[in-house]
Structure 1
Amino acid sequence: MKLAYEANAWGGVVGTASAVTDLTSGFYLTPGDVSVGLDAIAAAGFDGVELFDGNLFAFDGGTAAFGEALRSRGLALTGVYSGGHFIYRDAHGDEFARFERSIDVAAEAGARHFVLGGGAIRFDGRRDDDFVAMGALMDRVAERARAAGLIPSYHPHLGSLAESGAQVDALFSNSTIGLCADVAHLAAGGADPAEVIRRYSDRLAYVHLKDYNPSTGGFVPLGRGTVDLDGVVAAIRESGYDDWITVELDGYEGDLTEAAAVNRQFLASRGLDD
């Protein structure tokens, strides 16, 4: 397996304020100097990095400078993460235009994966047609990503339309997009992440390896939470998956340098750095 780290560990995530009135300008963004995360990721022995689409747009010097920043550290760009509302059909055109921009920049920067998150929840709850509408737009975006040479996938996430295992099933029954299995979000949403990986083994396109502490509601270094990571690793191996595994540790308040080393050691102990 090839091992990467999500840069949002060093700074978290914010959104662009302009998206309140202009959907086409809405992006995820990790605030601060991305170079700090790149240095730490490389120093911990990882080979790749994933980051938000907004950080590519914001990088001083553009994609050429970002590519040089990666090369100087021996890192590859494993993936670019984006997201949206998806469920409002009359806004699909605006959202698609935004995704097109992100896809083009991700491809220009040399990314392998294009990860979609999100799916709005209405004030009065989820509707069956929301899964249908979201699936339709996701498939359109996925087709565009494939045409640009990227591997598209959907990342289930707490606080989004597809949070629980049943909601992931509802969405995936209305879409053909691949699965980005974020095992901590799946577990926190009440699903068995290993079982989800097995159920969608033919659609497993990407993996976010992550641990979770339900007593605090926070994410923690691998092996320090309650996610059955050994079961997850077994399911990944059974699926035949042989692509990037990306560690994600957003919102962690401990020592990030130590956490990166712990995560790298955990991956090695499970033979994932072969």
Structure 2
Amino acid sequence: MVDIAVQLYTLRSLDASLPELLDRVGEAGYDGVEFAYRVRESPVEDVLAALERNDLDAASAHVPIEALEDAPAEALEDEFDETVDFYDRLGVDTLVVPWLDAEHFESAAAVDAAAARLDDIAAALDAAGVRLAYHNHDQEFATVGDAPALERLIDRTDDRVGFEIDAGWALVGGSDPAALIDRRTDRVTHVHAADADVDRGESVALGEGDVDLDAVVASARNADCEWLVYEHDDPADPIASVEQGAKVLRDALE
């Protein structure tokens, strides 16, 4: 069974505490949330209480790669341990690297270096009982050799590195997101159910862009994906966007 969550980046412009945002997510009918930004602004106990009263699970969390690198420097080791402990308290079992700059996908050597970096993080997280995933934008689809850089990244990383395929950005990058998920069923942990206008290269509401959502949902199911995560990068009305996203996803899953 695939559950639906919302990436809290969608609600970042709202002047509300995280527990208040979780109440709105619960009212919209989601099963879970993907944490990002502002997550540390409220006491953990208040966040846990909001998750419980809204019957929400923690689907995953977006965490900058710098907070996950278990480097020899004592300060960085402390940050890694603190990050893992913090998200463990929230019930998060998958930490997602949300972004690497385009320079990491401009050559085979750059992709291989990024892959080694992710492998090191995945090994450290695995030892702590946590899974690592990587979330794409469109820069990962630059051609390296004769294939998209993302394909090389998947091939060069250990199986402990999962992938959260963002359907909208994959399409903007020139890839068919459903076909990508079908090719990589063993590596996909989450799917960002995001839509995009390819000509403008912009995030749009589900159903208003060029993504074939039905095909993406079918591929996510075929891959035994745990979560479909709704995200809109810049909604005019965040609450209306989240409510509409839940309805569209529920309809697509019927």
TM-score with structure 2 length normalisation?
0.84
The equivalent of 2:111 in structure 1 is: 131
RMSD: 2.8
Q: Secondary structure at the match of 1:261?
A: helix
Q: Secondary structure at the match of 1:190?
A: coil
Establish whether residue 213 from structure 1 lines up as the match of residue 197 from structure 2. yes
The equivalent of 2:156 in structure 1 is: 174
The equivalent of 2:252 in structure 1 is: 270
Number of residue-to-residue matches in the alignment: 244
The equivalent of 1:247 in structure 2 is: 230
Query: What does residue range 124-203 of structure 1 map to in structure 2 within 5 Å?
Result: 126-159=106-139, 162-164=140-142, 166-176=148-158, 177-203=161-187
Establish whether residue 113 from structure 1 lines up as the match of residue 115 from structure 2. no
1:45 to 13, 25, 29: 29
Q: Match for 1:127: what amino acid?
A: S
1:236 to 202, 205, 220: 220
Query: What does residue range 3-152 of structure 1 map to in structure 2 within 5 Å?
Result: 3-11=4-12, 33-52=17-36, 54-56=37-39, 58-61=40-43, 63-84=44-65, 97=77, 98-122=79-103, 126-152=106-132
Provide the rounded CA distance (Å) in 2 between the counterparts of 1:4 and 1:46: 6
Range that drifts further, 97-106 or 256-265: 97-106
Range that drifts further, 99-108 or 69-78: 99-108
Q: Do 1:85 and 1:120's aligned partners in 2 also have CA atoms closer than 8 Å? A: no
TM-score with structure 1 length normalisation?
0.78
Provide the rounded CA distance (Å) in 2 between the counterparts of 1:110 and 1:166: 34
Shift in alpha-carbon separation, 1:173–1:99, aligned structure 2, 3 A: farther
Cα deviation 1:102-157 (Å, max 9, x = unaligned): 2232122111321112223449x823222122111211211222333333211112
Q: Secondary structure at the match of 2:189?
A: strand
Provide the rounded CA distance (Å) in 2 between the counterparts of 1:225 and 1:104: 39
Cα deviation 1:205-227 (Å, max 9, x = unaligned): 11111111234432122111111
Q: Structure 1: where are the runs of 5+ without partners?
A: 13-29
Provide the rounded CA distance (Å) in 1 between the counterparts of 2:63 and 2:17: 19
The equivalent of 2:240 in structure 1 is: 258
